Amino acid sequence: MARQKWGSRWAFVLAAVGSAAGLGNAWRFPYMAYSNGGGAFYIPYFIALFLAGIPILMAEFGIGQGLQSSAPKALGKISKGAEFIGWWAVLTGSIIVFYYNVIMAWIFNYLYFSFGPAWKGDPKGFFFGDFLKLTDGPGQLGGLRWPIVIGLLIAWLWVYLILRKGTESVGKTVMWTVPLPIILLVLLGIRGVTLEGAATGLNFLFEPNFAKLAEPRVWANAFGQIFFSLSVAFGIMIAYGSYNDKKNDVANNAIITALGNSATSFLAGIAVFSVLGYMATQMQVPVDEVVSGGIGLAFVVYPQAISLIPGGAVVQSIIGLAFFIMLLTLGIDSAFSLVEATEAAAGDKFKVNKKTFLVGFSVLGFIFGLLFATQGGLYWLDIIDHYMGTYALLVVGILESIVIGWVFGAEKLREYINSVSEVKIGAWFDISLKYIIPIVLISILGLNIYDEMK
Ligand code: PHE
């Protein structure tokens, strides 16, 4: 059977941007920038983007497209022994989507909670108590939280429906799930910056603290953010590239994907910090006291800010809805891209019927996800997320860059990329792939292990 193809160049680029721009852009990036030097963080951020992020993205697009294979098969074609790296990548991605979809399930619930809003004056008590009914530790799973189970079912059903017809249904979906969250971020940003105190919040985000740049951790965070944010080292971009024609432009597409992803992050930073500034002003506390990232930002702090926004319940409900629809549509393309990477890998290797695989995987994902839908689920989510981000992703990135850079040969790959791309890339690409990426990732891994042992 012929390999499926993207219907257009834009279907591919939007799917790639969609995978890259996810929950991490909205709740991880603003907090990262704020806590790693504010405006000064953009220096390591852009250095990481150009020195490592864009080259690895080009490499993944190039390998997938050139070898017309998903990650395990492509790496296996380069060297028989390297196939396992691809499997490791998709396995890590699978585990991630098992809990990513649980967060999607929370968001579905919060769409509903936005009416009213349901959290009233106490979003923290509402989230941990009323909603999660969180127990005291990971050892106590308690019971299943049925609203989360239902949300999880919807999330998997949605992923299934999007992937059902492969590139065709994905292509149709990303035409709206990629622009919509960006439009909503702009609208939320406009509401944000016109609130009293917004400037105070934005100052916290942008005021540069150059002294921070002396800390190795800040640099590690910048590279880590870029890798995570571009969805590389999970086999996703290799699979997506493999559905392109061999003659498709690689360099340009990688640059557009990377810049589109960063633009989404900046918009999110403005939308989030303007509102945090307003909130701090209303509560008469320093901005530091209200800032948070991750789950705390999305389900506690931002809802609290919404409750303070003038205009009454209707306006607050609309802003809540806009915020959670933004998160949902931002996250969905990342979620299904993780599944697609595994599906592509399994399809290439075992010649399984893709639809059958998809049904099986979705059911499996739902069942595994139930662990995180228990009352102790949040603890498990935190623990597993920690190991995925701190180790699994880095190890894949190190091995992958070595196999592509040294065994396949960065020079050979660059020659191929240049033969199909409008923008010609120089020898910096080879240096990045062969030296910079492995060395930086090994250093980060070392730093993580060191921090963990402290
Ligand atoms: N890039 C996504 C984000 O920033 C996260 C993600 C990582 C998605 C890896 C898929 C794979 O949220």
Q: Catalogue all structural domains in the chain, each as residue range(s) with its CATH number.
A: 9-453 (1.10.4160)
- CA-to-CA separations, 259 to 36, 39, 113, 151, 266, in angstroms, rounded: 21, 18, 34, 32, 11
Helix (H, G, I), strand (E, B) or coil at 436: helix
- In the block, tokens 């992958």 appear at 400
Q: Sign of the CA dihedral 426, 429, 432, 434?
A: negative
Digit-coded pLDDT (tens) for 377-433: 999 999 999 998 888 889 999 999 999 999 999 999 999 999 999 999 999 999 999
Residue 361 pLDDT > 90, yes or no? yes
The chain-wide mean pLDDT, for the chain, equals 96
Instruction: Tell me the mean pLDDT in the region 287-298.
Output: 93
User: By alpha-carbon position, which residue is closest to atom 6 of ligand 1?
Assistant: 231
What spacing in Å lies between the alpha carbon of 185 and ligand 1's midpoint? 18
Instruction: Indicate whether this model's pTM tops 0.90.
Output: yes
pLDDT, tens digit, 9 for 90 and up, residues 50-102: 999 999 999 999 999 999 999 999 999 999 999 999 999 999 999 999 999 99
Q: Which residues line ligand 1 (CB under 6 A)?
A: 19-20, 22-25, 93, 228-229, 231, 234, 236, 334, 337-338
pLDDT score at 260: 97
CB neighbourhood size of 313 (10 A):
11
pLDDT at 454: 85
pLDDT of 144 strictly over 90: yes
CB 361 within 8 A of CB 408: no
Tokens of 438: 């492995």
For the cut 80, the answer to whether the pLDDT of residue 217 exceeds it is yes
Q: What is the mean pLDDT of residues 281-307?
A: 94
Mean pLDDT for 437-452 is 95
Q: What is the CA 264 to chain-centroid distance, rounded?
A: 11
How far is it, in rounded angstroms, from Cα 174 to Cα 11? 7
Q: Is 351 helix (H, G, I), strand (E, B) or coil?
A: coil
* Ligand 1 atom at minimal distance to the Cα of residue 330: 12
| Substitution site in 96, 98, 231, 237 for ligand 1 pocket (most atoms within 8 Å of beta carbon) | 231
Q: What mean pLDDT do residues 224-232 have?
A: 95
Q: Quick check: ipTM above 0.90?
A: yes
If you take atom 11 of ligand 1, which residue's CA is the nearest one? 231
Closest residue (by CA) to atom 2 of ligand 1?
22
At residue 295 the predicted structure's pLDDT band, cuts being 50, 70 and 90, is: very high
| pLDDT score of 389 | 82
135 three-class SS: coil
Neighbours of 443 (CB within 10 A): 15
Query: pLDDT category, 263, cuts 50, 70, 90?
Result: very high
Per-residue model confidence as pLDDT tens digits over 88-106: 999 999 999 999 999 999 9
